[in-house]
Structure 1
Amino acid sequence: MPTIDDYLEQLHHGVWEVVISKEDVTDPLSDAWKRSPINVPTPGTIASYRNGQYHVHETKNEWRVHLDRYDPKIHPILHLIDDAPLFLMIFETMIMLFSEARGRSNTTERIIKDQLVFLKNGLFSGIFLLFLGSTFIISPEFDYYSIFQIILPLIVIIAGFVSMGRGMTWRPLYTADLKKIIIGGAILFVGLILSVFPIMIWNIILLSVLCIWMLSSALMLLNRVRKGKSAVLEGFYSRFVIAVISLFLAVGIFVIPDAILTLFMMISGVIIILVGCTLIGTTLKLKGRSYTCPEDTM
């Protein structure tokens, strides 16, 4: 039987994605394939692997392989701009979470390492995320200020104290790891600076990153769209829409920056709510299965 590598040649001849049934290949992944922890979310994906520009999504019954235009290890910025524009990542994340929240995907439970812990905490965590996401939508300005002026500095300060504490050992004899103490002190100092960091500076940093990312994606995608469908194998019309929306959002940063920040906070709230729904739905599903009688499962 062939391996997954035997199907890759099609990707160099005008095919965007190759779908391979797991029944049609032997041991599909060679040592050249490395697990990829960060990807554009896709419904039904169990795991993701990369081999240079080749990118495979593993589903329950299939391997779905496509060819990225840029290898993220060699060209991480170009990969983000062209292969993973911000609006596409947001849209795909919401589609995936909406799918799982409605129970259309069974991949969530496959990545649960400890179902007992999940059963105990999943429902509570889901409800908390529903509440948290709702606050992002109801009061985005307050949450934005709280994140950068209170929560983020507090996390950094706590990390500094933890690092300093790990550098000191009291038993059996008092010893000190000077390196850890110095690093912890530096982290603590950064946290104190962040606590008085002007919110306006945070606004400039975030808006600049968003503007550069979206504007670069829009220009690169529009340049490919201009060349015709053969230059946009992953979807001519979808990439054109993404380019136009990215361009409008980038321009909006200059015209209505406060509204753009509010919009992204509200989008974050929707994503958090969908994550909460997914946790609650999966928890209830697992609880339902745990209560199933043995004879019902035979």
Structure 2
Amino acid sequence: MTRLDDFLEPLDRGIWEVAVPKETVTEPLDTGWKKSPINVPSPGTIACLRKGRFHVHETEDEWRVHLDRYDPAVHPLLHLIDDAPLLLMISDTFMTLVADTKRTGIRRTADLLKTQRFIWHEQVLAGLLLCLVGIFIISNPFSFFRSLVEQIIPLTIICLALFLLVRPLRTRLPERYQAIDISRGMGILGAGIFAFFLPLALWILLILGILAAWMIASAAMLLFRVAKGRHAVPEGFYSRMVTGIVSLVLAVLLFVSPAGVIGLLVWVLGDITLLLGITLCINGLRLRRWMNPVTAGEAGR
């Protein structure tokens, strides 16, 4: 009887990641493993779970586990700065989307149809819509940024507030939790309404301040570890060194040419949106092709 935890000892000896074939794990994951809602994207990942600093990416055939430097439940800011710097999140998102467009392996159609959330034409339509949005963002980065901070962000905050306010009425939560949801919802609703009246200049200062602090802190921690030598950077010495240097350069450019850096980041967002749309279109068309043999087989019965 083997558990996933039985294979994780190499991580304590400086190994960055262990890949454990699923057939070697005979016991289900214990209750200490919790679903991780936000993760740096990686190709082939079905789900992500955490257990303290252990972070597992589940794929079709294996568990890929690495050891984060900080537990996000205990040190969320340090985890964001060191384990998930902004440039790493952007680059891994690009690589994951590109890998998805090139993916050839697939579970059998019968299994796919059980787990597929949208039928193929809905994926294609959603992909085309995202492609159009991505093209608009790339073509009009500053117009989109203005709409983002003056309309999209406040509306998103208000929608979150309404969800928290409505949830107690739709669920049978204990009265204490209902009061917590309502109080949080009212506070977030007030923040959303207030956000509508924030001037654009203040939004820019706020976003620039957050980005600069994030990138400077990430650069400092990454380069400090790089200076200690390879043993301090098991996840990749040169990749983390480049990430730290580029983060520092971008942070400096935020003060030298803030409009240019904002335009660059919005352009990257547009590229990611466009690539996501292309990925959905390709996957939708593949799904159609995979469904054809099943449809033909059922028609012949």
Verify same fold: TM over 0.5. Answer: yes
- Counting aligned pairs with the same residue, the percent is 43
Whichever residue aligns with residue 74 of structure 1, its letter is V
Cα distance, 1:135–1:28 mapped onto 2, change above 3 Å:
same
1:213 aligns with 214
Distance 2:50 2:160 in 1: 33
1:82 aligns with 82
Secondary structure class of the residue paired with 2:222: helix
Residue 63 of structure 2 is aligned to residue 60 of structure 1: no
Whichever residue aligns with residue 102 of structure 2, its letter is R
Distance 2:239 2:83 in 1: 13
Distance 2:190 2:31 in 1: 43
Secondary structure class of the residue paired with 1:72: coil
Distance 1:238 1:73 in 2: 26
1:27 aligns with 27
Q: CA RMSD in A?
A: 3.2
Listed one character per residue, the Cα deviations across residues 133-182 of structure 1 (whole Å, up to 9, x for unaligned) are 111111100001111223333455567778889999xxxxxxxx999999
Cα distance, 1:79–1:165 mapped onto 2, change above 3 Å:
closer
2:175 aligns with none
Q: Which moved more, 1:281-290 or 1:247-256?
A: 281-290
Listed one character per residue, the Cα deviations across residues 54-88 of structure 1 (whole Å, up to 9, x for unaligned) are 11111111111111111110011111111111100
1:172 aligns with none
Distance 1:111 1:263 in 2: 38
* Aligned 8 A contact 1:11 1:18 in 2: yes
Cα distance, 1:167–1:92 mapped onto 2, change above 3 Å:
closer
1:174 aligns with none
Q: Which moved more, 1:243-252 or 1:20-29?
A: 20-29
Q: Which moved more, 1:29-38 or 1:260-269?
A: 29-38
1:69 aligns with 69
1:255 aligns with 256
2:284 aligns with 283
1:119 aligns with 120
2:101 aligns with 101
Secondary structure class of the residue paired with 2:8: helix
Distance 1:238 1:180 in 2: 42
Cα distance, 1:188–1:5 mapped onto 2, change above 3 Å:
closer
Secondary structure class of the residue paired with 1:233: coil
Equivalenced residue count is: 288
Secondary structure class of the residue paired with 1:291: helix
Distance 2:180 2:41 in 1: 39
Listed one character per residue, the Cα deviations across residues 214-240 of structure 1 (whole Å, up to 9, x for unaligned) are 100101011100010011011001100
Secondary structure class of the residue paired with 1:81: helix
